[in-house]
Amino acid sequence: MSAPNSHAEDDIWKLFKAKKILIASEIYVLFPFLHGLRDEEIISEEVFKECKEKVDANPDVMHEEIYNVLERINSVPALRKLFCKENLDVYPHLKSIYEDLENALQKAENSIEQRSIKGHQTKDSSPETSARKRSLQKAENSSASEQRIKKARQKKGSSPETPARKWLFQKTENRSASEQRSKKAQQTKDSRPVTPARKWPSSLGCAILSGQRRMEQRYLKTLGKLPDLQVKLDDIQGHLHGLQKQQKCLLVSLNCCNQSDRDLEVAGLQNQMDDIISHQQVLQTSMLQILGELGVEKPLP
């Protein structure tokens, strides 16, 4: 052990040395004991592999190899890692050994902590540390002074005289912005084509215009198509006269026939007569529809 160690540290190492064989004899499987020491970097990867290979080759040398690993532990924190929860759960007989070492281990940890605190205090009391503290204090004082100056300037800027100046400056900016908008609007207005002012009609004028549009639509539906309707009407009337003549001719022919011929041809003539009459009725209906669209209630003579 090193010379600066306290009596508490000496005691824990003496106890650990006395319990080392007992600890090694309680380790009957390598995992998690050996793996935990490797993961915590208490032993190197080379030591881990060497121990594992020897135990795998000959399991009878396990306790001896564990003892060799324990020989490499040389710090109180590493000693604490031996008795972690995982190891105590897997190797329950270590609990009694840990109870024997716990008080001495706690005293050793306290001693190390006190020595560390004293070392920091000694380091802080060195001339270099004092100079560094004075430099930091000076920088803090300078920063505090700058902040006070800044606050004073801000306070001065918020005096009653400043709001008036700000209000005047804001008013000037608003006036300038308003003038620019007016100028831009005038330029836009000048660039537009001149259109005559639109006069909105009164309610009476709207009614007159609406009535005029309805008359125009009615004219387009009826009188606006009068020339075409007149041509169609003339064709229908001509066709109708032709049918009437054929009907008369058939009646004359039928009256001129003998009774025997009349009996033979009556069926054919009757069918022709029915077709003529049906055709005539269709033409009359079409003619009446056209006359209705023209607004004429009775057929033309």
Q: Which of 9, 150, 25, 177 is nearest to 77 (CA)?
A: 9
The whole-chain average pLDDT of the chain stands at 76
> What is the C-alpha to C-alpha distance for residues 281 and 283, in angstroms, rounded to an integer?
5
> Shortest CA distance to 45 belongs to which of 58, 56, 35, 55?
35
Residue 63: predicted pLDDT: 95
Structural contact between residues 52 and 34, judged by C-beta atoms closer than 8 angstroms: yes
Higher local confidence (pLDDT), 162 or 151: 151
Q: What does the alpha-carbon distance between residue 242 and residue 107 come to, in Å, rounded to a whole number?
A: 140
Q: pLDDT of 214-240, one tens digit each?
A: 776 766 666 556 666 666 677 777 777
Contact 34, 69 (CB under 8 A): yes
CA distance linking residue 253 with residue 273, whole number of Å: 12
The token pair at 74 is 């040389």
Distance CA 9, CA 114 (A): 12
The residues near 237 (Cβ < 8 Å, ≥ 6 apart) are 287
What one-character DSSP code corresponds to residue 299? -
For residue 72, the Cα-to-chain-centroid distance in whole angstroms is: 58
What span, in angstroms and rounded, lies between the C-alpha atoms of 237 and 210? 38
The answer, yes or no, to whether residue 1 has pLDDT greater than 60, is: no
pLDDT at residue 3, rounded to an integer: 42
**Over 70: is that where the pLDDT of 176 sits?**
yes
Residue whose entry in the numeric block shows the structure tokens 């109708």: 240
Whether 72 has a pLDDT exceeding 50, the answer reads yes
Q: What token pair was written down for 173?
A: 């900016």
Can you tell me the mean pLDDT for 144-157?
Answer: 69
Report in angstroms the alpha-carbon separations of 127 from 115, 116, 139. 21, 20, 18
- 27 touches 91 (CB < 8 A): yes
* Residue for token pair 């135990």: 55
CA 12/CA 108 separation, integer angstroms = 7
Residue 200 has pLDDT above 50, yes or no: no
Angle at which helices 226-256 and 259-293 pack, to 10 degrees?
Answer: 170
Please determine, for residue 138, whether its predicted confidence score (pLDDT) is greater than 60: yes
pLDDT value, residue 120: 67
pLDDT given for residue 2 in this prediction: 43
CA distance 79 to 264: 140
Q: Residue written as tokens 């020897």?
A: 54
**d(C-alpha 244, C-alpha 290), whole Å:** 20
Let me know: does 244 contact 252? Beta carbons within 8 Å: no
